[in-house]
Chain A
Amino acid sequence: EGLVSDCPSCSLPRLQETAPSAESQLVEAVKEHILNMLHLKERPNITHPVPRAALLNALKNLHVGKVRDDGNVEIEEEASSGQALREPEQTSEIISFAEAGPTQDVVHFQIAMEGGRDLTLVDQANIWLYLKLSNKTNRSRSKVTVRLYQAGQGQDGQALVSEKQVDIKRSGWHTIPVSRSAQATLGTQERSLELRVTCEQCPEAGVRPVLAEPTDKEESHRPFLMLLVREVQEHTHRIRKR
């Protein structure tokens, strides 16, 4: 009965309205149903949530949600009423905020394993990076090139993952696509990505990329990785290959 099925309410027990614990039974059934549908074995244990400013920045930049007057976040519902067909593939958007790496110019991203899912295919991955202008800006330069290297890969221990020439008229966010090879490490078991961010022309241009700063000063401008992933059951993926 408790198995995930196309009929959500079938997983809810039939209750006698009289029993006072009926309500708590129903709440437990709703909890179990939500965890089932999210493919989670148990509710995540949140020990250090992302600073709200960083969260709201990411949601606003990605147009995933907006903050209502009451302070709650509102997201766009997927417009699909009626009997939607159950997709063998569930797509998700994952926003992963950078953690500090072993050196100041390295950032680390970690993606969680979801219970019971065979395969995660990364369809798209972008790094969002905030470039901050200092007051000693050299106006002669209007663009700089940012490069991302994947630590531990390639000949000299690093592989160029991506590079992008960005406009620096003002401080702001820039998206830098992550290459297929770097995406591949996110789909495997360790699901982590360590990137070194370089920008040779930045010092002379009076601009710097905000990375995973040890101080809270720049928390709201912490870099984040935006992933579009598809969890597929292994057999579905194999059929697809065939």
Chain B
Amino acid sequence: GLECDGKINICCRKQFYVNFRDIGWSDWIIAPIGYYGNYCEGECPSHIAGTSGSSLSFHSAVINHYRIRGYSPFNNIKSCCVPTKLRAMSMLYYDDEHNIVKKDIQNMIAEECGCS
């Protein structure tokens, strides 16, 4: 996936780190000290739709197959810039009863972006 560096406008990943102390949440979140709220942004012109992320390789093979023959059921599909690889995050925090909860949350951090 591409990292957004302000120079490209095609689908890329924008890093956005939030330190819990800066937002006044470090009193109830014990760990980690911050969160990568990365998000995806940028255009998905048709010629690159479905071309990123190994997980989409089958998808892009089908698209290219049709495109070579001129006919494509995917011509008018508008593809979206979405995370194509996500990572879990473990959190340790106080709940309303002041118990400590450790939770491993799936799909919490966007690691790569690509055109759906």
A-contact 0/1 string along B77-110, CB 8 Å cutoff: 0000011111111111111111111111111111
Closest B residue, CB atoms, query A5: B107
Interface membership of B37, Cβ < 8 A: yes
A-contact 0/1 string along B15-32, CB 8 Å cutoff: 010100001010110111
**Chain B residues near A126 (CB-CB < 8 A):** none
Closest beta carbon of chain A to B9's beta carbon, Å? 12
The residue that B38 contacts in the complex, of A9, A29, A59, A87, with Cβ under 8 A, is A9
Pair B90/A75 contact, Cβ less than 8 Å:
yes
Q: For chain A, what secondary structure do more than half of its interface residues adopt (helix, strand, loop), or is it mixed?
A: loop
Pair B106/A111 contact, Cβ less than 8 Å:
no
Q: Scan residues 26-46 of chain A and give those whose CB is less than 8 A from a CB of chain B.
A: 26-27, 29-31, 33-34, 37-38, 40, 43-46
Closest beta carbon of chain B to A195's beta carbon, Å? 16
- How many of chain B's residues have a CB under 8 angstroms from any CB in A? 48
**Chain A residues near B23 (CB-CB < 8 A):** 27, 31
Closest beta carbon of chain B to A76's beta carbon, Å? 6
Pair A44/B28 contact, Cβ less than 8 Å:
yes
Pair A49/B27 contact, Cβ less than 8 Å:
yes
**Chain B residues near A232 (CB-CB < 8 A):** none
Binding site for B on A (CB under 8 A): 6-10, 12, 14, 26-27, 29-31, 33-34, 37-38, 40, 43-50, 55, 58-59, 64-65, 72-87, 90-97, 110-114
